[in-house]
Amino acid sequence: MPIAPIPDAQVPALPPAIELVGIDKRFGGVHANRDIHLTVDKGSIHGIVGENGAGKSTLMSILYGFYQADHGRILVDGREVRIRSSADAIGLGIGMVHQQFMLVETFTVLENVILGAEGAPRLAAAESRARGLIERLARDYGLTVDPDRIVGELSVGEQQRVEILKALFRGAETLILDEPTAVLTPAEADHLFRILRRLQAEGKTVVIITHKLREIMAVTDTVSVMRRGEVVATWPTAATTVERIAEAMVGRRVLLHVPKASSVPGRTLLAVEGLDVRDGRGARLVEGVTFDVRAGEIVGIAGVAGNGQSELLETIAGIRRPSAGSIRLGAEAIGGLDPAAIRALGLAHVPEDRHRMGLVLALEAWENVMLGYQDDPAYQAGVLIDGRAVRAAATDRFRGYDVRPPDIRLRTGLFSGGNQQKIVIGREMERDPDVLLVGQPTRGVDIGAIEFIHRRLIALRDRGKAILLVSAELDEIRSLADRVLCMCGGRIVGECRPETPEADIGLMMAGVAA
Amino acid sequence: MSGSRGELPPLVDYLVVPAVNLTLAFLVSGLVVLAIGENPLAAVRIMLSGALGYAEGVGYTLYYTTNFIFTGLAVAVAFHAGLFNIGAEGQATMAGLGVAVVCLAFDGAPWWLVLPFAVAAAALFGAGWAFVPGWAQARRGSHIVITTIMFNFIAATVMVYLLVNVLGKPGAMNPETRTFAEATRLPPIRDMLLPLGFDVGTSPLNPSFFLACLAALLVWLLIWHSRLGYEMRVFGFNPTAAVYAGIDPARVVMIAMMISGALAGLLAVNEVMGVQNRLLLEFVGGAGFVGIAVALMGRAHPLGIVLAAFLFGVLYQGGAELSFERPKISRDMVVVIQGLVILFAGALEHLARPPLVRLFRRTRLAAEA
Amino acid sequence: MEFVESAALVLGSAVRLSVPLLLACLAGLWSERSGVVDIGLEGKMLAAAFAAGAAAAVTGSAWLGLLAAILTAIAFSLVHGFASISQRGNQIVSGVAINFVAAGLTALLGQAWFAQGGRTPPVQGDARFQPIDLPGEVAARAAGGFGRLWSEVVSGHNILVYLAFLAVPVTWYALGRTRFGLRLRAVGENPHAVDTAGISVAGLRYAAVVIAGLLCGLAGTYLAIAQSAGFIRDMTAGKGFIALAALVFAKWRPVPAMLTCLLFGLLDAVAIRLQGTPLPVVGPVPVQVFQALPYVLTVVLLAGFIGRAIPPRASGVPYTKDR
């Protein structure tokens, strides 16, 4: 793309705020970004969408100086630049709001805002300057936060505002937001969008990375779609549709539906009543939740991440203690029992995060096959573990669930995400539980494995088991569940059929309508 | 303990990497010897012949090895549960008290009768002293490293108090108990082998060496073949997964610390019942800290620990000979080497890894091409 | 009056005994507030003491002794820094290694160079830091009673004592009120925040460990050629660990660190003073009670029975960009 000097006579078109030319980045064997060309116009809100692992965050990290591209050029305001560190990016007027906030929780808002941009060696001057600016920004953009509060005590939405303040205090002209709404309530997200539009009105450029299509449609001017490290499409948002974007993200028509017969629910296997869960500080995470799951049905819980679904699963599994309410597994009251006791009563649990909870990556794969079932008499030989029996079970699971490579001695961390998930699912399903809790069964799993896992879940249902499914993918819930519960702010705000249009479920998830 | 495994073949990971680290530590040690005007190669020769060149030297080497197996296993067991027990020194010190009380109570009884009680007392006292830091970490969230360090000092003060005011032999110059009767002491292995026609020379080596080897075997079974060991490893690698799996973290922390303390405590059987034959101050002599070096070098595997303990046994015995032959190289040289081994095999363990990984990737690519 | 005078003597002794603790404690404070756990204070102090003793004995200058001590301690700090910051090694292990190397090397080199059983030759005169009499010293001493408080507790210490107590407000100001301090505290709490703000995490942490080295250098010098007239082997005798305890006790804050070190110094002074003399009401108290008290108090504090000691959040965790 040749950049010829523009003759004065022509229309003085502003150079783009950001231009990426042929950006390429590999991590070992992973080709994270392939020959990316991307132009972000000045004063626009530009969305970048793509599935997890499509390379969005890598691309933005390159722009922010966290990584260096192997090839390619970056132009800011039409000038070619080299960005070797965050300091370079900040110097060029690029600010970033990370998905996990980069805040010092023990510091005040003020201290966080000035960190790294203090000016003089003594703090006093910077503090009064920042105080003035925070007041002005609060007025201009609705970015209200008390500068003297300790950041750790703020709500997530307020913390995000502090991150934006940080960027603006450093004179950011272009603001990159990485999955900004993943942890926000719908009201907070709307507040954020209003702030972004005000920023845009002031002439700032905004780049927003997300995998939520609703947001793209709601707030952006332009949308770029990334798939497997490449930018596959860029459209003006007004000229495209959710379906086209979704198709570009996935590369074919969205998620095929695994055929399933309509469910024949039997007796109630899991009954939750008036369940309350609080965190260590006493804040309510789950509030007054009541529902049941019957034999032969899959109940899906839809909701924006962070609205109590994870805590609900963990409480039923015994990892958290309920602060009020009852949980019954068949005839047994299991509220407050420990995970081992609950498992022994016939409940299995595929946790949301296999790395953090479902597997021990440093162990050999066969050792993970007994995780949670280490007390099983079948795995004991006297006082020792019957390694041969466990390995036989592992070989069996690996075959049954098509885990590749079929090497049970391999360190678990060396399997791909999809195969790790098959190890977890195989372990939990083969115990033939009455009730199965499943969190994010296909997160970070390739398409082929998704289909396999979905078939298995439906087969388990058809054997008359009860399944409680939590997923961030509405599509997944709609294709698997027989009934859908919507969670928002720790409460169940509504129940609907899976055939309910996505938009209506979305409204319910946002706590707007029932 | 480290994350970036898997890029190297296991054999390289478990043999070449430690060997490279050890070599680096020895190279720096050699520089130190050069700096004080001695010949490092000559020093190595003296050390090796002093430690392995004759029966008595071997006996001494194995006697040191015994101590280091116990403390190395102690540190390693805690490692597997993700805990850093710096308190083996204090745990062994308190165990000495247990052994001494048993031996004094049964004074005059034959050693084989007293031994089981002495072993039990050593394990019990060591476990008890380790239990408090374990409990404080599990139930009160205190940092086990700081607490175990503090407990080392508290153990030392308690020992001074007891030996000066309570157990001390009246009229003795040094604070120590009276010596146990001949029959109650663990016999030197020499005495046991002489009737069979073997003469292994005069050394403090006694049957607790076999106890150490047995302990290594039991630890191997514990860590890799028992449910408790499995639970410890799961917790050590991923505490969240442990909770998911229905493992009680507090229980694992406390039990792991108690086993660790018990193993450290067994050192007292060797020292108090087998060598000193009385309780005296500082009989542990830093072996608790050597255990850290041994566990790191042995990569927390019992076989590795036995080998590493033997290496340190050679260093200690060889170092003693060396300081005798070359007074300029005092026994403190061994402490320096020990520190360097901890530095290179522990804190700097990643130093050699990236070049090795590169080397292997290149050779593999070359082989594939 | 007699009580005031003997109290003054004990307090003066407490001040002198607390100085190495205070310097080492502040060293630990700087290091740990930046996120680098330092259990090698003992070793660095010992190495510095040896360097001070050796250099002062050879050159006859206390100031050259101080310089050698500071350089030595900083060198050890940089080893610890390299292992924990650049190599992302285990900081506890590195600290343990430092302690061993220092213990071995000082004794080995001491014996090899001076052949006096690991000691350095005794120093006097300019090779040692001498007491400084503050104005009014003589008059206060002559006045007796409360005058002795001035002459024993405040006046008559060597320069390092005053430096140590000066280091407390300096640390407080630098950490709390300057740009450098803000960044340093931030890097100990959340290094990602510092990195994304465009500041070098490694740079800040190296700066912190170098400051820790400097302070350990002062502490070692004080032991070898101010409080004593030369280095003797293992002369730190666990003071680095008491300093660590004091750091925990003070919850990583400078002014409480000073008060804690004074308290621990006082316990030591009282123990020396009593030596078996019975106390009123409780009768004779074994000296070991006073010796063990700092450790016991720290354990009790850590267990949360008297307040909570929460270390800087990122301390002990090597920094990697990827999460």
For C164-199, write each residue's pLDDT tens digit. 999 999 999 999 999 999 999 999 999 999 998 889
Q: Is A85 on the interface with C (CB under 8 A)?
A: yes
* 3-class SS of residue A47: strand
Judge whether C19 and C160 are in contact, CB under 8 Å. yes
Residues 236-255 on B with a CB inside 8 Å of A are 237-238, 240-241, 243-248
Q: Tell me the mean pLDDT in the region B207-232.
A: 95
Q: Is A125 on the interface with C (CB under 8 A)?
A: no
Q: Which helix (H) or strand (E) holds A25?
A: strand A18-27
B246 → closest Cβ in A338, A362, A384: A338
Q: Which residue type, as a one-letter code, is found at position B292?
A: I
Give the residue from chain C lying closest to A117, CA to CA. Answer: C197
Asked whether residue B337 is assigned to any structural domain, the reply reads no
pLDDT at B169 over 50: yes
Min Cα distance C301 → chain B (Å) is 9
The domain limits of chain A are 18-250, 264-346+433-514, 359-432
**Tens of pLDDT along B20-63?**
888 999 999 999 999 988 899 999 999 999 999 888 899 999 99
The span from the CA of A384 to the CA of A145, in Å, is: 58
Chain B residue numbers with beta carbons less than 8 Å from the beta carbon of A414 are 6
The burial class, CB within 10 Å (0-12 / 13-18 / 19+), for B327 is: exposed
Q: Is B34 on the interface with C (CB under 8 A)?
A: no
| Count of other CB atoms within 10 angstroms of residue A336 | 14
Give the residue from chain B lying closest to A374, CA to CA. Answer: B227
Q: Do C182 and A122 touch (CB under 8 A)?
A: no
Across B136-146, b (16+ Cβ under 10 Å) vs e yields bbbeeebbbbb
The span from the CA of A434 to the CA of A453, in Å, is: 18
Judge whether B294 and B75 are in contact, CB under 8 Å. yes
Q: Do B332 and C107 touch (CB under 8 A)?
A: yes
Closest Cα partner for B133 from B320, B296, B258?
A: B258
Query: Count of domains in chain B?
Result: 1
Min Cα distance A123 → chain B (Å) is 33
Judge whether B130 and B318 are in contact, CB under 8 Å. no
Provide the residue count of chain C: 323
Q: DSSP assignment of C132-165, as one string?
A: -PPTTHHHHHHH-THHHIIIIIISS-BHHHHHHH
* 3-class SS of residue B291: helix
B244 → closest Cβ in A339, A363, A370: A339
Q: DSSP assignment of A211-270, as one string?
A: S-HHHHHHH-SEEEEEETTEEEEEEEGGG--HHHHHHHHHSSSS-PPPP-PPP---SEEE
Chain A residue numbers with beta carbons less than 8 Å from the beta carbon of C180 are 121
Give the residue from chain C lying closest to A89, CA to CA. Answer: C198
The span from the CA of A78 to the CA of A92, in Å, is: 12
Chain A residue numbers with beta carbons less than 8 Å from the beta carbon of C323 are 100
Residues 259-288 on C with a CB inside 8 Å of B are 286, 288
Residues 92-121 on C with a CB inside 8 Å of A are none
Q: Which residue type, as a one-letter code, is found at position B356?
A: L
Min Cα distance C136 → chain B (Å) is 42
Q: Do A86 and C179 touch (CB under 8 A)?
A: no
The reported pLDDT for the residue numbered C247 is: 93
Contacts with B324 (C-beta within 8 Å, 6 or more apart), sequence order: none
Please give chain A's pLDDT, 514 residues, in tens: 444 444 444 445 678 999 999 999 988 767 889 999 999 999 999 999 887 677 888 899 899 988 889 999 999 999 999 999 888 999 999 999 987 778 999 999 999 999 988 888 888 888 888 898 888 888 888 788 888 999 988 887 888 889 999 998 888 999 999 888 877 766 778 888 999 999 999 899 999 998 777 788 889 999 999 888 889 999 999 998 877 887 777 665 455 567 788 888 889 999 999 999 988 777 788 999 999 999 999 999 987 767 888 899 999 999 999 999 999 998 899 988 999 999 999 999 999 888 889 999 999 999 999 999 999 899 999 889 999 999 999 999 999 988 888 889 988 988 888 889 999 999 999 888 999 999 988 877 776 778 888 989 999 999 999 999 998 777 788 889 999 998 888 889 889 898 887 767 777 776 655 4
Name all domains of chain C by residue range, CATH numbers in brackets: 2-302 (1.10.3470)
The span from the CA of C245 to the CA of C261, in Å, is: 9
Judge whether B175 and B279 are in contact, CB under 8 Å. no
Asked whether residue B20 is assigned to any structural domain, the reply reads no
The burial class, CB within 10 Å (0-12 / 13-18 / 19+), for B336 is: buried
Continuous H helices in A386-467: 387-400, 417-429, 447-462
- pTM, to two decimals: 0.86
- Using alpha carbons only, give the angle A252, A258, A263 rounded to the nearest 5 degrees: 150
Is domain A18-250 given the CATH code 3.40.50.300 in the classification? Answer: yes
Please check whether the two domains, A18-250 and A264-346+433-514, share a CATH topology. Answer: yes
The span from the CA of A365 to the CA of A405, in Å, is: 11
Asked whether residue B364 is assigned to any structural domain, the reply reads no
Which pLDDT band, with edges at 50, 70 and 90, does B7 fall under?
A: low
B75-79, B296-300, C304-308: range with highest mean pLDDT: B75-79
Asked whether residue B354 is assigned to any structural domain, the reply reads no
A246-250, B68-72, B353-357: range with highest mean pLDDT: B68-72
The reported pLDDT for the residue numbered B264 is: 97
ipTM of the complex: 0.90
Q: Is A344 on the interface with C (CB under 8 A)?
A: no
Contacts with B261 (C-beta within 8 Å, 6 or more apart), sequence order: B74, B85, B87, B88, B91, B126, B127, B128, B129, B130, B131
The reported pLDDT for the residue numbered A10 is: 47
Min Cα distance C112 → chain B (Å) is 5
The reported pLDDT for the residue numbered B353 is: 78
Give the residue from chain C lying closest to B133, CA to CA. Answer: C299
Q: Which helix (H) or strand (E) holds A483?
A: strand A483-488
Q: Tell me the mean pLDDT in the region B260-286.
A: 92
Phi, psi of A288 (to 5 degrees): 55, 40
Q: Is C248 on the interface with B (CB under 8 A)?
A: yes
A45-49, strands of its sheet edge to edge: A94-97, A174-178, A205-210, A45-49, A222-227, A230-236
Q: Domain range holding B177?
A: 69-309
Contacts with C237 (C-beta within 8 Å, 6 or more apart), sequence order: none
Contacts with C155 (C-beta within 8 Å, 6 or more apart), sequence order: C132, C133, C134, C136, C137, C140
The reported pLDDT for the residue numbered C1 is: 63
* 3-class SS of residue A298: strand
A96 → closest Cβ in C179, C194, C196: C196
- Spans in chain C with pLDDT lower than 50: 323
Contacting B with CB below 8 Å, chain A residues are 317-319, 338-341, 343, 349, 351, 356-363, 367, 370-372, 374-375, 380, 383-385, 387, 411, 413-414
Within its chain, how far is the Cα of B99 from the centroid?
Answer: 18
Judge whether C251 and C25 are in contact, CB under 8 Å. no
Contacts with C256 (C-beta within 8 Å, 6 or more apart), sequence order: C249, C250
Asked whether residue B158 is assigned to any structural domain, the reply reads yes
Closest Cα partner for C122 from C251, C2, C231, C255?
A: C231
Report how far apart, in Å, the C-alpha atoms of B148 and of each of B84, B134, B236, B267, C30 are.
9, 9, 18, 18, 23
Q: Do A374 and B245 touch (CB under 8 A)?
A: yes
Asked whether residue B346 is assigned to any structural domain, the reply reads no
Chain B residue numbers with beta carbons less than 8 Å from the beta carbon of A318 are 246
The reported pLDDT for the residue numbered B273 is: 92
CATH assignment of A264-346+433-514, among 3.40.50.300, 3.30.429.10, 1.10.1040.10, 3.40.50.620 = 3.40.50.300
